[in-house]
């Protein structure tokens, strides 16, 4: 088993965004073009020598202490650690595993997040971290979920999570989870970051 994986958790741009319909569940039907950037957060996943048996209900975990992951980040991301999408992604993955199989004893994974993508900027930082967590934990824990299954889990965490699991530039429809790949020419972008923060959830 690979003991350490370092992965770019990329930012994204919406090259255009057209809202076609607001659904009763609060989501919006849309059309957009997602462009994934070669810039973003860096996430390092290290398999510890400790093993952990998940609790009967991971949702009862307090501040991530009862999960087989430990999150390390110099910046405080949320007031409540359980609100962090990395923690939520681990919980969602374990809950999906429990639907079909008893969770095995899992090695505890230390996750180190070097945060570069600003929050509230519409660049998908939290969603990208979520997708990266789903993909790498799936690999390190050898859970064998395929890409479509991971995208479905990701969609329960946020509308932008599936594009980062899809992993390529795409035209997106639905709530942003129906993809058609698109070839885009190389392009440089200048991103201006005002001091304002807008929740894009």
Which stretch of DSSP H or E encloses residue 32? strand 28-52
Residues 33 and 145: their CA atoms lie apart, in Å, by 26
Q: Residue 122 and residue 124: Cα distance in Å, rounded?
A: 6
Query: Sign of the C-alpha dihedral, residues 109, 1, 131, 34?
Result: positive
Do you know the residue count of the chain?
201
Q: Which of 12, 25, 83, 116 is catalytic?
A: 12
83 is catalytic: no
Q: Is 50 a catalytic residue?
A: no
Dihedral of CA 58/147/72/124: which sign? negative
Query: Among 4, 127, 150, 141, which Cα is nearest to 68's?
Result: 141
Q: Which of 41, 75, 88, 160 is catalytic?
A: 160
Annotated catalytic sites, by residue?
12, 160
């Amino acid at each position: 088993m690979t003991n350490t994986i370092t992965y770019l958790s990329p930012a994204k741009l919406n090259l255009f965004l057209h809202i076609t319909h607001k659904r009763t569940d609060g989501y919006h039907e849309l059309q957009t073009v997602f462009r994934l950037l070669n810039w973003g957060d860096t996430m390092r996943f290290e398999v510890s020598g400790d093993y952990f048996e998940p609790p009967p209900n991971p949702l009862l975990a307090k501040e991530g202490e009862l999960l087989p992951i430990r999150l390390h980040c110099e910046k405080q991301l949320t007031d409540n650690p359980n609100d962090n999408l990395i923690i939520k992604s681990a919980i969602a993955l374990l809950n999906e595993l429990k639907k079909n199989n008893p969770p095995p004893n899992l090695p505890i994974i230390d996750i180190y997040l070097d945060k570069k993508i600003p929050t509230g900027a519409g660049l998908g930082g939290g969603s990208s971290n979520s997708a990266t967590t789903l993909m790498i934990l799936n690999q390190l824990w050898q859970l064998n979920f395929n890409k479509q299954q991971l995208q479905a889990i990701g969609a329960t965490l946020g509308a932008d999570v599936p594009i980062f699991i899809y992993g390529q530039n795409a035209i997106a429809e639905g709530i942003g989870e129906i993809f058609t790949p698109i070839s885009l020419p190389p392009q440089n972008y200048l991103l201006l970051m005002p001091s304002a923060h807008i929740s894009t959830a």
